[in-house]
Structure 1
Amino acid sequence: MQARFAPVRDCFHDLFASGRETGAALAVWYDGTPVVDLVGGTGAAVPPGAAVPPGAAVPAVAAVPAVGAEAPWRPDTLVDVYSVGKPVVALCLLLLVDRGRVDLDAPVSAYWPEFRAPATVRQVLDHTAGLPAFPVPRPAAAIPDWGLLCADLAAAEPEWTPGSVAGEHAWTYGHLVGELVRRVDGRPVGRFLADEIAGPWRLDLAFGLGAADQRRCADLSYADPEWPVRMLGEPGSLRARALGNPAGGLDTAVVNSPLWRAAEIPAVNLHATASALARLYAGLLAGGTLDGVRRFSPELVAEATRVQYDGPDLVLDRRASWTLGMQWEPDGSWGMGGIGGSSAWADPERGYTFAYATARLADHDRVEDLVEALHSCL
């Protein structure tokens, strides 16, 4: 790591020394080059003697102590980054837009005939489609039933006129976008991601993990046992309905289970390394080409990262600026944070991409401190 970025390393180390972090990874690209790649703490259930993949960096914070008897966090440790996956599933559909197979302003029903809501593809992508919550209460056992949950959405009446206002489609987003991918292409969205984006760009991230990849997942844990209750908000509220159905999405007993890790829940269960996320955004920041491999046209990247909606968000209960799958910030950066503290984005003005992947479910203050340290280096 360049000496210039030592304050970022020191801040990352301090998160562990102060007890604010127990297992995480941080990656930063600057001016098209990886400049920070750190891992620390524990959380991965990796069998002893497992090999580090070729080309993987040696953990950069060897001094961070292990916590308990768990395996140390490694360069190839995967963790559920929650909503950080929303832009990733959006990119799957946007790749089909780029290839002329999907029209952003066509009704969803043009590709998914059973779909009743009068929403367009663009409105699905920018969170204005009016379907922020699954309409039928479902138990955790329904999580892997893609067909059931998509049928629930297809039959649902929108909660507002599509296009009129936004509300983060907290859990439904991945099924709405992913089913459009499946209807047009034929492949499930997890397979599509692997074949069309993750494979060509060498990204260690996925929807729906096999047994081998599940063995290198970090277990999520709560910094505060009351965290799930606080995140759901008022019982019966739109936020609670959006985050709490099907049951179990904020329950570590569920999200650390094979049921969750093997399922495709693209809005909330992308499993990734920080290095892969920073690399993905580096490809987008470069106009859709990474290591000479073009996946997206510059025109598609420009449209995907342009603000499509700016106004109140009924689920977040604040103002939000949505692009086609990402949040846009006033400093010109675009990307997505996940509930629990993970985050990834690109900052075109400053020329960097940033990714933080954590297993410690808490607030985003850790990322804020790291960004402050990073900006001090620039």
Structure 2
Amino acid sequence: MADIQGSYDDLFTAVPNALADLLDRGDVGGAVAVFVDGEPVVDVWGGFADAGRSVPWQRDTLVNVWSTTKTMTALCALVLADRGELDVDAPVVRYWPEFGAGGKDKVRVRHLLSHTAGLPDWDPPLTTDELYDWDTATARLAAQAPLWEPGSAAGYHSLTQGFLVGEVVRRISGRGPGAFFADEVAGPLGADFHMGLPAEHDRRVALTVPPPSQGDDYASSSEADATGVRVRDGNSLAWRRAQIPAASGFGNARSVALVQSAMACGGTVNGVRLLSRAGCDRAWKEQFSGEDRVLGMPTRWGLGYGLFGTTYGWGGWGGSLVMIEPETRAVVAYVTNQMREPAEDTRGLDLVMSAYEGIQALQK
């Protein structure tokens, strides 16, 4: 059995066992954390940080979590909404006047957060260099016409959502989403999660490994869209430094679970209050339920989070996942550098299920 490092409560032995099984079946590396009441009951990791399996995965290893980053950007908007600085029902033009071009004057902030704004990609697509340029990426979205009546349908805004929500955050706070997150969320909580990774952390990064039989040019249509983002792009220094707040967050399972514990615990974690309970509950109010035009599958969206019964969260290309259960004040987070083909990847949900019995036992 693969060697698993870290610690866990005896009620949760199924979680490290499940992670070990993934590594035994060929995954390169990964980490899992389970937090209840803002405290870790599981914090484990194993495997390797490199495709050559020569660098062990460490406690402080960081990895790109791809679209799990969206939950971090959504939290920034929810913090501003809770402070009364952002009205999610307001038209986006209240905060970003240029956005009204192309018939978008009635697009509301909640449409951005729920993938219903009609801007799932850039038309024409951005080049990779343009994707790394915040002003270019946001100006192009501001000038664009929506593909459908905003609010009438959902279509996964895999890369655009971060720029849309992030620009609203920037217009209100005067700080880009990465800086806002660092100052107002990660910093107060002591969470090792970054949007726009400083060079000092490069040594800790586990590069993404494409699925077996795939190379570094591998791209997923659901994550990369027409912009053509590939594994090699996600592994580049330019990607790490850029602000792509729908997909370029770097963290570990511990930091993801810690941050999202704010949403599980009514807005306060370990004495740090990020927002009110009402501010958390706002995120779970359904904005859309139906077939997603981009993903081609049924989805339910709240404000920045997918809704799955009484559990909320989202995952990323490559397998990362965070699931939040306010009823039990629990969060399960999984990160990995090993991609699998999306159609056959159930690792994150399997790990959530492995934690469920322990979470229930703690409630008794």
Distance 1:346 1:300 in 2: 15
Distance 1:186 1:85 in 2: 21
**Under a length normalisation based on structure 2, what TM-score does the superposition of the two structures give?**
0.90
Equivalent position of 1:18 in the other structure = 25
Distance 2:32 2:58 in 1: 12
Equivalent position of 2:174 in the other structure = 186
The offset of 1:140, in angstroms, is: 1.6
What per-residue deviation string (whole Å, max 9, x for no partner) do you get for residues 236-257 of structure 1?
Answer: xxx5xx733433x2x2221111
Distance 1:32 1:208 in 2: 25
Distance 1:182 1:230 in 2: 29
* One of 342, 365, 369 as aligned partner of 2:346: 365
Does structure 1 retain, via aligned residues, the 8 Å contact 2:266–2:276? yes
Report matched runs for 1:1-378 at 5 Å.
Answer: 1-19=8-26, 21-43=27-49, 68=52, 70-115=54-99, 116=101, 117=104, 118-226=106-214, 231-232=220-221, 243-247=224-228, 249=229, 251-330=230-309, 332-362=310-340, 363=342, 364-377=345-358, 378=360
Distance 2:125 2:296 in 1: 23
Distance 1:230 1:215 in 2: 25
Does structure 2 retain, via aligned residues, the 8 Å contact 1:114–1:154? yes
Distance 1:273 1:366 in 2: 16
Amino acid aligned to 1:231: S
Equivalent position of 1:58 in the other structure = none
Distance 1:375 1:169 in 2: 30
The offset of 1:215, in angstroms, is: 2.0
Distance 1:121 1:271 in 2: 26
Does structure 2 retain, via aligned residues, the 8 Å contact 1:42–1:70? yes
**Which sections of structure 1, spanning at least 5 residues, go unmatched?**
45-66, 233-238
% same residue:
40
**Which sections of structure 2, spanning at least 5 residues, go unmatched?**
1-7
Does structure 2 retain, via aligned residues, the 8 Å contact 1:139–1:245? no
Distance 1:93 1:372 in 2: 30
Distance 1:168 1:80 in 2: 20
The offset of 1:230, in angstroms, is: 7.6
Distance 2:17 2:137 in 1: 44
Distance 2:81 2:67 in 1: 22
Does structure 1 retain, via aligned residues, the 8 Å contact 2:263–2:326? no
The offset of 1:340, in angstroms, is: 1.2
Amino acid aligned to 1:104: V
Q: Give secondary structure in 2 for the equivalent of 1:354.
A: strand
What per-residue deviation string (whole Å, max 9, x for no partner) do you get for residues 213-245 of structure 1?
Answer: 12211100112344876832xxxxxx5xx7334
Does structure 1 retain, via aligned residues, the 8 Å contact 2:95–2:172? yes
The offset of 1:284, in angstroms, is: 1.5
Distance 2:218 2:38 in 1: 40
User: Which moves more between the two structures, 361-370 or 193-202?
Assistant: 361-370
Identify the structure with the greater helix proportion: 2
Distance 1:195 1:371 in 2: 30
Q: Give secondary structure in 2 for the equivalent of 1:353.
A: strand
Distance 1:147 1:31 in 2: 40
Does structure 1 retain, via aligned residues, the 8 Å contact 2:28–2:53? no
